[in-house]
């Protein structure tokens, strides 16, 4: 009897251990599968992963192409086997395409896995194996439009700032320019200078720059006012050129006196006093909710590294702080890329499509390996709200601060902005966000010029980009 009991106990222990081992094996296989399907690309793309060297030992890095197949980055192989990464457009695509020297940036970083993977024909790969030759890596075909990128780059000129152009119906990023810029062909030679630059030359201002949004934020304020007031279209305010709260006085830009204005007029003329008046009437909590629905304080859908936008207003803040926030000053911070996303949602009936930079991945013979399909990210507002905001934005171009865009061979809507950034309030950034072909939007644009003088206006840069597209 004792032997039987002992045997039974032993069997149970063996069975228990067996279950544990099977569980561990299943868990290990599950993790292995998850790693292969989800995490492998992230790990391989990590600059600290030493296995990257082994990939480049067997594969010639693939090309990065524009949406029409123009080469933006390629690897030249000398007779002695030496490989040199070349960027035919020099500075023009610097931040978005990136570089491979001194680490990686831009698409060179985020598409590293694809560029160091070869889906060449099996026979070719076998032949190369026997001849001890490298296989050609896959090519990344981007959504970038060469003509729009060049137009945006030229239009920004010597100004510091950024331009982002998107297709709102798909989420395609068509152009992304940041200045000051650099030549990715000479990053190794100039690394010390570039990495220590006081102008933050390597910083992609389009996605990583943080700025007060200025009057472009009045779009957010207008949306909140519409949500709080069903009769918003009957709003009326008499602008005398200034408004006070305690010891804070807010003036309309340039000392303008706009007189009696509607909500539509307020946006068209970018009337600071009217929006300050609106701001002090808003519920701070729901205002914050609206801002967060528009992705402030939230994760952004982005392929490239970015800085999170900030909206900090609370119910405990003063009336003056609410007024400043409503007109786009105060503590609010945003990137040009984020403003492009908000504008895209307005243009696309309230729906933000997931932004993307890679249209497809092809092998060296041009056969498509992967293809990106447009995908909805989320609704930032209702279609009715988006239509109303778009209508108000047409007033900005019809008779308001962006009237330079009126009377063209295309229709446009938008919002200008001026953001003070110095304590003496004598220096400011110039903003513009806009839509081209209003009834069936084809482009949205977000532009910022840092330290703009009187002649440097973001709306003029937007016009040059629109003109290049519709010429």
pLDDT in tens, 279-301: 999 999 999 999 999 999 999 99
Residue 251 lies in a domain: yes
Residue 249 lies in a domain: yes
Domain with 314 in it: what CATH number? 3.40.710.10
Q: Does position 27 have pLDDT exceeding 60, yes or no?
A: yes
Q: Does position 424 have pLDDT exceeding 60, yes or no?
A: no
Instruction: Quote the pTM value.
Output: 0.89
Residue 199 lies in a domain: no
Confidence class for position 120, pLDDT limits 50, 70, 90: confident
Q: Does position 88 have pLDDT exceeding 90, yes or no?
A: yes
Mean pLDDT across 233-262: 94
* Least trusted range by pLDDT, from 16-30, 99-113, 350-364: 16-30
Q: Does position 311 have pLDDT exceeding 60, yes or no?
A: yes
Q: Does position 427 have pLDDT exceeding 90, yes or no?
A: no
Residue 272 lies in a domain: yes
pLDDT in tens, 351-397: 999 999 999 999 999 999 999 999 999 999 999 999 999 999 999 99
70 closest CA partner among 153, 135, 149, 168? 149
Residue 136 lies in a domain: no
Q: Does position 313 have pLDDT exceeding 70, yes or no?
A: yes
Residue 398 lies in a domain: yes
pLDDT in tens, 51-87: 655 677 889 999 999 999 999 999 999 988 899 999 9
Q: Does position 253 have pLDDT exceeding 90, yes or no?
A: no
Q: Is the dihedral of CA 344, 402, 437, 70 positive or negative?
A: negative
Average pLDDT of the chain is: 91
Residue 157 lies in a domain: no
Residue-number span of the structural domain to which 378 is assigned: 207-357+373-470
* Count of the separate structural domains present in the chain: 2
Residue 322 lies in a domain: yes
């Amino acid at each position: 009897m004792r032997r039987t009991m002992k045997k039974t106990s032993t069997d149970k222990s063996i069975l228990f251990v067996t279950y544990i081992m099977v569980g561990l094996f299943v868990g290990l296989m599950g993790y292995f599968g998850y790693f292969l399907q989800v995490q492998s690309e992230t790990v391989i793309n990590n600059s600290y992963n030493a296995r990257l060297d082994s990939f480049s030992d067997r594969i010639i890095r693939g090309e990065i192409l524009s949406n029409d197949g123009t080469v933006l980055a390629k690897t030249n192989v000398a007779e002695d086997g030496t490989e040199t990464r070349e960027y035919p457009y020099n500075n023009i695509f610097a931040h978005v395409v990136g570089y491979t020297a001194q680490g990686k940036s831009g698409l060179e970083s985020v598409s590293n896995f694809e560029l160091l993977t070869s889906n060449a024909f099996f026979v070719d790969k076998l032949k190369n194996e026997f001849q001890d030759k490298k296989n050609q890596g896959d090519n990344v075909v981007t959504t970038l439009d060469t003509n729009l990128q060049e137009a945006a780059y030229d239009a920004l000129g010597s100004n510091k700032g950024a331009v982002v152009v998107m297709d709102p119906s798909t989420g395609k990023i068509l152009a992304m320019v940041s200045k000051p810029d650099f030549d990715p062909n000479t990053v190794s030679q100039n690394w010390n200078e570039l990495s220590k630059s006081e102008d933050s030359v390597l910083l992609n201002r389009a996605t990583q720059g943080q700025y007060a949004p200025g009057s472009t934020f009045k779009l957010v304020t207008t949306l909140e006012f519409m949500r709080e007031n069903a009769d918003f279209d009957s709003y009326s305010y008499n602008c005398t050129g200034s408004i006070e709260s305690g010891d804070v006085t807010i003036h309309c830009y340039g000392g303008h006196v706009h007189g009696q204005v509607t909500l539509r007029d307020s946006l068209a003329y970018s009337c600071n006093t009217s929006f300050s008046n609106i701001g002090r009437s808003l519920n701070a909590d729901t205002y914050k909710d609206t801002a967060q629905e528009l992705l402030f304080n939230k994760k952004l859908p982005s392929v490239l590294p970015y800085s999170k936008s900030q909206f900090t207003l609370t119910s405990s803040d003063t009336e003056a702080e609410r007024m400043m926030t409503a007109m786009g000053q105060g503590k609010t911070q945003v990137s040009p890329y984020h403003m492009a996303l908000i504008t895209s949602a307005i243009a696309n009936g309230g729906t933000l499509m997931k932004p993307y930079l890679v249209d497809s991945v092809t092998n060296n013979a041009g056969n498509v390996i992967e293809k990106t399909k447009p995908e909805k990210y989320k609704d930032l507002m209702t279609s009715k709200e988006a239509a109303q905001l778009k209508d108000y934005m047409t007033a900005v171009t019809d008779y308001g601060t962006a009237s330079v865009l009126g009377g063209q061979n295309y229709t446009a809507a938008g919002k200008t902005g001026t953001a003070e950034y110095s304590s003496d309030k004598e220096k400011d950034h110039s903003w513009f966000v806009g839509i081209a072909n209003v009834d069936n939007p084809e482009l949205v644009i977000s532009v910022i010029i840092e330290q703009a003088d009187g002649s440097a206006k973001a709306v003029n840069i937007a016009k040059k980009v629109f003109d290049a597209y519709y010429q």
